[in-house]
């Protein structure tokens, strides 16, 4: 199961890497908490949704600020929304017998995240790194 961020998951932008790293740490914590019966499924899913949404808002903010082209922007945001919809559905089922169980949730999110980070996020990371570099160049030029 994927529960740890590794250097080769880097998308090339430190701020995003840091957020991704924190999310993997949260997943690992949720898994441990479940084994130790520290918190129920509902509460853990709530934590996860909350943090995932905060990360998506931050990432999508960069996309809009730096003019990420429409087709990629739309499909990337749709991926974020699909994941949140799945988590919200699981959250709703958490108290019932239809609850997916923490192992399935953590495994699914870990795999989803790894595929998303090394796919869509890396593609966006390349775009963003170039934009940030040229923004820094522009600022430097102003004072030279």
Closest approach of Cβ 88 to Fe ion, in Å?
17
Q: Which stretch binds Fe ion (CB under 5 A): 27-35, 57-65, 66-74, 136-144?
A: 57-65
Options 10, 52, 87, 121; binder of Fe ion; rule CB under 5 A: 121
Residues of this chain, 27-46, that bind Fe ion according to CB under 5 A: none
Closest approach of Cβ 32 to Fe ion, in Å?
23
Q: Which stretch binds Fe ion (CB under 5 A): 1-9, 25-33, 85-93, 113-121?
A: 113-121
17 counts as binding Fe ion under rule CB under 5 A: no
Cβ-based nearer residue to Fe ion, 34 or 52: 52
Q: Rounded CA gap, 23 and 89, in Å?
A: 20
Query: In the bound complex, which residue of the shown chain has the CB atom lying closest to Fe ion?
Result: 121
Three-state SS for the chain is CCCCCCHHHCCCCHHHHHHHHHHHHHHHHHHHHHHCCCCCHHHHHHHHHHHHHHHHHHHHHHHHHCCCCHHHHHHHHHHHHHHHHHHHHHHHHCCCCCCCCHHHHHHHHHHHHHHHHHHHHHHHHHHHHHHHHHHHHHHHHHHC
Q: Rounded CA gap, 15 and 114, in Å?
A: 17
Cβ-based nearer residue to Fe ion, 9 or 90: 9
Q: Which stretch binds Fe ion (CB under 5 A): 33-41, 51-59, 127-135, 136-144?
A: 51-59
Cβ-based nearer residue to Fe ion, 59 or 94: 59
Q: Which residues bind Fe ion (CB under 5 A)?
A: 59, 121
């Amino acid at each position: 199961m994927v529960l740890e961020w590794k250097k080769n998951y880097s998308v090339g932008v430190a701020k995003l890497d840091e957020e991704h790293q924190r999310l993997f740490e949260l997943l690992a914590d949720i898994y441990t908490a479940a084994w130790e019966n520290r918190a129920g499924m509902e509460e853990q899913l709530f934590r996860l949704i909350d943090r995932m949404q905060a990360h998506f808002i931050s990432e999508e903010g960069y996309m809009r600020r730096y003019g990420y082209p429409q087709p990629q922007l739309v499909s990337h945001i749709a991926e974020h929304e699909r994941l949140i919809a799945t988590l919200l559905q699981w959250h709703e089922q958490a108290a019932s017998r239809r609850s997916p169980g923490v192992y399935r949730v953590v495994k699914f999110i870990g795999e989803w995240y790894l595929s998303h980070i090394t796919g869509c996020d890396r593609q966006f990371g390349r775009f963003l790194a170039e934009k940030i570099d040229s923004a820094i160049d522009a600022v430097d030029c102003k004072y030279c």
